[in-house]
Amino acid sequence: MAARRDDRRVVVTRETARRRRRRRALVALGVGAAVVAGTGYGAWRFIDENEYLLEEGCSVSLGGDTFTLTPEQTRTAADLSAAAADRGLDPEAAVDAVAISLQESDLTARDLPAEDQAAADESTEASAEQDEPADPAPEYFARSGPQWSSDGASHGAPTTAEDFFSALEETEGWSPELDLEESAEVLDRPHNASFYPQHEDLARAFTTPLTGQQPMDLSCELAQRDVPDADPQGYAEALISSFPTLLEEQAVEVAEDGVVITVPDRDAAEEGQSQQDLDWLFAHWSLAMARDYGLQNIDVGAHTWDRDAAAWQQGSTAEDGTVRLGFDRDED
């Protein structure tokens, strides 16, 4: 009598068993990969949204090369460039200042010696009592160092932007045609004059946009985490303080939604500014200050810089002859 179908013995060959194990292994691997991928994606989203991998900085592309500075260094470069531009100096003066500062202080404000800091604190306290608080000007250059002249004596040197450019204007023999080594010698800088030229390319890359000679050259990537509170009033005061000659106080309007700069008529600007685009001079200076004052966007001409995009793009709403600064983040 033939066995019923369900009574028949099932024989599993070695090859059949292998195929089953392979299928189970592939299923397990697929599930594992999906779990790992999901976990990895979630971790990446968390890292990205919290900006743990973001390295803040500003960059300029020039001649096929990209030059970068930290936000703090960029602000110093902007301060020095603004001082040169406001005095009507040739842009080469800004190049020399930034390159010399890179050599002497790495383009960062130097800490005051203890005795000078104590004197500055006393001065600030005295000013505060008179309702006229005043902070000492930051020092961007070396105070003194070895004198590379024949007598080998050390000497003092201008340290603030104002003192540096005053010395430059008063120094016989300085001209925009000098190379950096020659400028360091003429300006009697405290380091060996041959050390300064190594910083020229980086200095020129940043001072070109920061003195208004090129649009859209400078861009900054800044974090949205721990952004300082929006401070349009503080920004406006810093702007007017940095450009006392080029900007009158009434040219800067602080509104609820930001700040509007009415750019002075170029025909009325000082002779030294004729080759510069004042719109971009103020726009790039503002970008260098964005990290400190909570700036979110800058509109100038047909272009806008947005903190999230970290780049200049077309689509500005600024009227001709104005630069608009926004402090509210558009999260749409």
Beta strands in the chain (DSSP E): 57-62, 65-69, 144-145, 155-156, 218-221, 252-255, 258-262, 297-300, 303-306, 311-314, 322-326
Most confident of 111-120, 267-276, 292-301: 292-301
Locate 52 and state its tokens: 């743990």
Give the closest residue to 246 by CA, choosing from 212, 210, 278. Answer: 278
What is the distance between the alpha carbons of residues 160 and 10, in angstroms, rounded to a whole number? Answer: 93
Query: For the packed helices 200-210 and 278-293, what is the interaxial angle rounded to 10 degrees?
Result: 100
Q: What is the pLDDT of residues 162-205, one digit of tens each?
A: 999 999 999 999 999 999 999 999 999 999 999 999 999 999 99
Residues 6+ apart with CB under 8 A from 261: 239, 247, 251, 252, 253, 282, 322, 323, 324, 325
> How many Cα neighbours within 13 Å face the side chain of 80?
35
Query: For the packed helices 91-105 and 71-86, what is the interaxial angle rounded to 10 degrees?
Result: 140
Position 120 pLDDT exceeds 50: no
